[in-house]
Amino acid sequence: MNMIQAINSAMEVVMARDPNVIVMGEDVGYFGGVFRATAGLQEKFGKTRVFDTPITECGIIGVAVGMGAYGLRPVPEIQFADYIYPALDQLVSEAARLRYRSAGEFTSPITVRSPFGGGIFGGQTHSQSPEGIFTHVSGIKTVIPSTPYDAKGLLIAAIEDNDPTLFFEPKRIYNGPFDGHWDRPSQNWSKHPAGEVPTGYYKIELGKAKIVRAGDALTILAYGTMVHVCMAVVTESGVDAEIIDLRTLVPLDIETVEASVKKTGRCMIVHEATRTGGFGAELSALVQERCFYHLEAPIERVTGFDTPYPHSLEWAYFPGPVRIGEALKKVMRT
């Protein structure tokens, strides 16, 4: 399976098990979503469980919150993460706080799916990585898969979780893993072990990172598409780096991160989102707080720039093998 099929399979499996799971969003019904992630679901589960919505993100999330309060488990789709901002208030002030403000009387068990990140020439409005905005908010979980296998297991866990969860799907690797630049086409998931996805039910616990590559020289923290780019860079560089796929940003698997950095003594953080106040800043602070006496070099961040996503210069913005490779050399030199 590719990642889209795995995501589709996750929804199908959960919907078959739990009649309270419903899927909604722009174009998700008859058509099956602009990325085909919900294809076939309406046919299988009917129009009252899988349906198109008006183009109003604040409405989609607000309605989902109400459905969650009723007792359903809505899985709303925001077509591109760039369009999540009109729904920001419903996510931040409502979904994220409902349990707290009502002392558990009402909860918001919603899972918002949204494709995010660059690498498809989507320009400013189809490429952003807004995860840092939400990791700053108390009461909401943020999950980002990097493989089809993880995508299915994590999405099932997110839908069954009783807290509101943002599930950001790295759309550059929907169809296959990618090693990081415009002249390096993504490969087919069918040739990748993580493309082996069971058709049945399984889940991957939220808040558990995965060591993608074990190593002793350096710890690389990444998620989504960047896991694959880092893998390619490390393979080419010959550096014995440990690559950690965070998978869940909130709650973060701090134990795995801390143990790795204490072992390697070096840390590099890679994400596509803009740099200032990004999730990399939080990771950097955590590593510094917990591993300061183990560090042999300053923590290095490779991120998108503090600019909007530039359409024609997309590959300069996207952290590719050259930028990551240079940063790697810098950390290793010290």
Partner 1 sequence: MASDSPRANLKPLSLYVPEPKFRPGDTVDFTEVTIPAAGSVRRPDIADPADSFIDLAYELVRVLDHESQAVGPWNPRLSPDTLRAMLRSMALVRAFDERMFRAQRQGKTSFYMKCTGEEAVAVSAAFALDYEDMCFPSYRQQGLLIARGWSLVDMMNQIYSNRGDRLQGKQLPIMYSVKEAGFFSISGNLATQYPQAVGWAMASAAKGDTRIAATWCGEGSTAEGDFHSACTFASVYRAPVIFNVVNNQWAISSFSGFAGAESTTFAARAVGYGIAGLRVDGNDALAVYAATAWAAERARTNQGPTLIEHFTYRAEGHSTSDDPGQYRSEGEPTAWPLGDPVKRLKDHLIAIGEWDEERHAAQDKELAEQVKASQKEAEQNGILGHGLHQPLDTLFDGVFEEMPWHLREQQAQMLAEETASGRPWARKK
Per-residue binder mask for partner 1 (CB under 8 A), 59-78, x = binder: x-xxxxxxxxxxxx-x----
126 assigned to active site: yes
| N-term to C-term CA, the chain | 42
The least distance separating partner 1 from the CB of residue 39, rounded to whole angstroms, comes to 21
193 forms part of the interface with partner 1 (CB under 8 A): no
Give the strands of the sheet with 267-274, arranged side by side.
210-213, 241-245, 218-222, 267-274, 300-304
From CA 14, how far away is CA 5, in angstroms rounded? 14
The least distance separating partner 1 from the CB of residue 328, rounded to whole angstroms, comes to 29
At 1 the three-state DSSP class reads: coil
DSSP structure string for 312-331: TTHHHHS--HHHHHHHHHHH
Q: Which of 250, 270, 273, 299 binds partner 1 (CB under 8 A)?
A: 250
91 forms part of the interface with partner 1 (CB under 8 A): no
292 forms part of the interface with partner 1 (CB under 8 A): no
3 forms part of the interface with partner 1 (CB under 8 A): no
> Please, which residue, 255 or 306, has the CB nearer to partner 1?
255
| Number of residues engaging partner 1 in binding (CB under 8 A) | 48
Q: Which of 10, 99, 131, 242 binds partner 1 (CB under 8 A)?
A: 99
Tokens standing for 93? 């002030």
163 forms part of the interface with partner 1 (CB under 8 A): yes
From CA 40, how far away is CA 29, in angstroms rounded? 8
The least distance separating partner 1 from the CB of residue 209, rounded to whole angstroms, comes to 13
Non-local (6+) Cβ contacts of 164 within 8 A are 68, 91, 95, 96, 98, 108, 109, 110, 111, 112, 139, 140, 141
Binding to partner 1 (CB under 8 A) within 301-330 occurs at none
Cα atoms in the Cβ-side hemisphere of radius 13 Å centred on 300: 22
The least distance separating partner 1 from the CB of residue 78, rounded to whole angstroms, comes to 14
Non-local (6+) Cβ contacts of 261 within 8 A are 219, 267, 287, 290, 291, 294, 295
> Please, which residue, 47 or 329, has the CB nearer to partner 1?
47
Show which residues are catalytic: 126
Give contact residues for partner 1 (rule: CB under 8 A): 22, 48-49, 53-54, 56, 58-59, 61-72, 74, 86, 89-90, 93-94, 98-107, 138-139, 141, 161-163, 207, 250-252, 254-255
